[in-house]
């Protein structure tokens, strides 16, 4: 099941992040408490998807149709906490609502529950890259961090920017070139798995940095 | 395009494009770190400067507090000095009638002794004359006793009225009274001093609303300064100088004008601009706080919405003019 390197790496990193979540959930600040919730949501949905696929021998794409809007809902909550701006909170709420509506439309009219919901994933990724850039601007506006490289929020936002910008390209390419192929190239999915593993590895580091740093983050608390 | 075609061209393009995207994002993050550090450095410098300014502000505020405290002490000293002069003046005012009372009482004692002799000799003419003298002296004793009594009552009235509120007053009487009090106060301090006190008081002055305690302090300060100036000039020309101080009142442009002039040394033109500044004094150390004229200025300007001016000619004398509204 997880014998190849990309899968092994991805699940190891995901379990590590989930484990750190259990270890540190009492001490992390509110935005990263929701990050732990997200990691556990990913772990549960991934395990359920594998169960559907290997035990029921059915397509597990429907799991991602449900998972994607809830994933963005949690990211939206994290970013509204980190950005700490009332107007942006309203904008983020609208984006979250939009993703839910878009996913319903996508499922009914564009990509059925038996197909991968790449359209919703691309829109979600565009929103996340935008939010990440906005947070970078906000961090620079109020330079309160003494050493940026030891700040969990910096690592969290950096990996969101890199991973989801790369994801836009992956799923964009997927939509244009390989969506309807009978035998899509595995290399693309393997690269995606390795990058997903790196995302959860960085999340683990973020949680660890949250544990070791004193809680005096101005942006976290708005 | 089939899957083998994708393996050869599409996937290579995908990998290259992916690397470009990652490189761009990494480049952005490195740029962000560098620019953040620059901004942080600037912000830290700004915060440091702010902190220094805050610290300096605290030091300045503390110094200001200390200065205000010192100023309060000095003002208190100035008031005490004025009070000293006032007490000396009042003592003199009461001393005069008391001397009369004492002298006439002594004369009456002698007259009573003479009366006893006259009674023994049955000299009726002598008895009548002595009784007449006794009666005359008793009248004088009563008169001077009443004068002392009225001085004390007047002072008590002053102290009762000095509640910080304005009361309509006869400026002529008040200024003249303080001219006399400050003269006797100054004489008590400088025994050899004497001056001619001149008055030119307008008879048609209306009552002026003043805070009596404060305006009295102004008169006391100005008259004492006038006496001081003439005394200093007298020390330089003991034989050929006669000290004169003039009090003149008049109506001027719907205001009461009070002039206090002296024929002392005058004020050098370089000092004219500074005389109303706090702590400015030309008196030797220990003789003046430099607050008398400053306080007077504040009392007239802020307390009475009036005006105070000075005209002075070196070696000829000075003239202080006060203008007070009476409507």
The CATH number that applies at residue B201 is 3.30.565.10
Interface test with B, best of A134, A137, A139, A140 (most B CBs within 10 A): A140
Using the predicted structure, report yes or no on whether residue A52 has a pLDDT greater than 60: yes
Using the predicted structure, report yes or no on whether residue A146 has a pLDDT greater than 80: yes
pLDDT band at A218 (very low <50, low <70, confident <90, very high): very low
Residue A22 belongs to some domain of the structure: yes
Residue A219 belongs to some domain of the structure: no
Q: Is the dihedral of CA A95, A98, A99, A100 positive or negative?
A: positive
Number of domain units in chain B:
1
A97 at interface of B, judged by CB pairs closer than 8 A: no
**How many whole angstroms separate alpha carbon B258 and alpha carbon B171?**
8
Q: Mean pLDDT of all residues in chain A? A: 87
Helical (H) or strand (E) element with A141: helix A118-141
Q: Mean pLDDT of all residues in chain B? A: 85
Chain B residues close to A166, C-beta within 8 Å: 18, 21-22, 25
Give every CB contact of residue B327 below 8 A, 6+ residues apart in sequence.
B254
- In order of A115, A191, B201, B259, the CA distances from B168 in angstroms are 101, 100, 18, 19
Distance from CA of B20 to the nearest CA of A (A): 9
Residue A44 belongs to some domain of the structure: yes
Residues 16-55 of chain B with CB under 8 A from chain A are 17-18, 21-22, 24-26, 28-29, 32-33, 35-37, 39-40, 43
Residue A221 belongs to some domain of the structure: no
Give every CB contact of residue A2 below 8 A, 6+ residues apart in sequence.
A8, A11
The pLDDT, as a whole number, for residue A51 is 86
A185 at interface of B, judged by CB pairs closer than 8 A: yes
Q: How many CB pairs under 8 A join A and B?
A: 68
Using the predicted structure, report yes or no on whether residue B86 has a pLDDT greater than 80: no
Range of the domain at A22: 5-212
Are the CB atoms for A197 and A12 separated by under 8 Å? Answer: yes
Are the CB atoms for A195 and A163 separated by under 8 Å? Answer: yes
User: How confident is the model over A137-165, as a mean pLDDT?
Assistant: 91
Closest of B25, B2, B20, B16 to residue A188, by C-alpha: B16
Token reading at A71? 């994933």
Residue B45 belongs to some domain of the structure: no
Length of chain B: 327
Length of chain A: 222
Number of domain units in chain A:
1
Residue A114 belongs to some domain of the structure: yes
The pLDDT, as a whole number, for residue A219 is 46
Token reading at B182? 């400050």
Chain A's closest residue to B15, CA to CA, is A188
**C-alpha of B163 from chain center:** 17
pLDDT tens, B215-240?
A: 988 998 899 999 999 999 998 888 88
By mean pLDDT, which of B31-45, B82-96, B293-307 is the weakest? B82-96
Residue pointed to by tokens 């244009």? A176
Q: Name residue A163's beta-bridge partners.
A: none
Q: What percent of chain B has pLDDT over 70?
A: 91
**How many whole angstroms separate alpha carbon B5 and alpha carbon B3?**
5
Residue A220 belongs to some domain of the structure: no
Residue B307 belongs to some domain of the structure: yes
Residue B310 belongs to some domain of the structure: yes
Range of the domain at B270: 168-327
pLDDT band at B73 (very low <50, low <70, confident <90, very high): confident
- In order of A196, A199, A205, B97, B229, the CA distances from A123 in angstroms are 18, 19, 27, 109, 94
The pLDDT, as a whole number, for residue B289 is 67
């Amino acid at each position: 099941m997880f014998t190849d390197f990309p899968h092994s790496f991805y699940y190891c990193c995901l379990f590590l992040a989930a484990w750190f979540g259990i270890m540190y959930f009492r001490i992390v600040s509110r935005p990263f408490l929701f990050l732990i919730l997200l990691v556990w949501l990913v772990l549960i949905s991934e395990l359920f998807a594998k169960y559907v696929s290997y035990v029921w021998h059915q397509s597990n794409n429907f799991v991602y149709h449900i998972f994607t809007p809830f994933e963005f809902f949690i990211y939206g909550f994290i970013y509204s906490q980190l950005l700490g701006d009332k107007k942006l909170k309203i904008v983020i709420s609208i984006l979250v609502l939009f993703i839910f509506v878009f996913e319903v439309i996508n499922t009914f009219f564009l990509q059925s529950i038996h197909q991968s919901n790449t359209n919703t994933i691309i829109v979600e990724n565009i929103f996340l890259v935008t939010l990440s850039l906005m947070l970078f601007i906000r961090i620079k506006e109020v330079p309160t961090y003494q050493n940026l490289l030891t700040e969990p929020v910096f690592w969290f936002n950096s990996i969101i920017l890199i991973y989801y910008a790369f994801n836009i390209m992956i799923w964009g390419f997927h939509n244009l070139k390989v969506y309807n192929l009978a035998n899509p190239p595995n290399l693309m999915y393997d690269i995606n798995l390795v990058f997903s593993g790196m995302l959860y590895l960085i999340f683990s580091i973020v949680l660890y940095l949250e544990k070791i740093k004193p809680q005096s983050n101005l942006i976290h608390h708005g | 395009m089939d899957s083998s075609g994708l393996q050869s061209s599409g996937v290579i393009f995908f990998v290259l494009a992916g690397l470009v995207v990652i490189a761009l994002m990494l480049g952005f993050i490195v740029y962000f770190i560098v620019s953040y550090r620059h901004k942080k450095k600037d912000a830290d410098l700004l915060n440091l400067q702010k902190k220094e300014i805050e610290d300096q502000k605290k030091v300045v505020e503390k110094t200001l507090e200390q200065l205000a405290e010192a100023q309060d002490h000095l003002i208190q000293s100035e008031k005490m000095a004025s009070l000293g002069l006032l007490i000396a003046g009042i003592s003199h005012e009461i001393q005069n009638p008391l001397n009369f009372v004492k002298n006439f009482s002594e004369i009456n004692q002698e007259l009573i002794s003479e009366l006893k002799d006259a009674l023994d000799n049955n000299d009726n003419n002598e008895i009548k004359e002595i009784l007449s003298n006794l009666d005359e002296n008793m009248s004088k004793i009563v008169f001077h006793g009443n004068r002392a009594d009225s001085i004390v009552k007047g002072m008590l009235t002053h102290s009762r009225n000095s509640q910080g509120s304005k009361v309509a007053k006869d400026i002529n009487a008040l200024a003249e009274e303080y001219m006399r009090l400050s003269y006797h106060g100054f004489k008590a301090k400088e025994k050899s001093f004497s001056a001619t006190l001149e008055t030119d008081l307008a008879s048609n002055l209306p009552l002026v609303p003043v805070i009596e305690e404060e305006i009295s302090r102004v008169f006391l300060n100005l008259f004492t300064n006038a006496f001081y100036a003439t005394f200093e000039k007298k020390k330089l020309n003991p034989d050929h100088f006669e000290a004169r101080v003039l009090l003149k009142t008049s109506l001027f442009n719907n205001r009461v004008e009070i002039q206090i002039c002296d024929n002392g040394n005058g004020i050098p033109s370089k000092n004219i601009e500074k005389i109303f500044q706090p702590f400015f004094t030309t008196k030797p150390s220990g003789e003046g706080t430099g607050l008398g004229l400053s306080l007077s200025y504040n009392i007239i300007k802020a307390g009475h919405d009036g005006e105070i001016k000075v005209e002075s000619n070196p070696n000829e004398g000075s003239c202080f003019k006060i203008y007070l509204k009476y409507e």
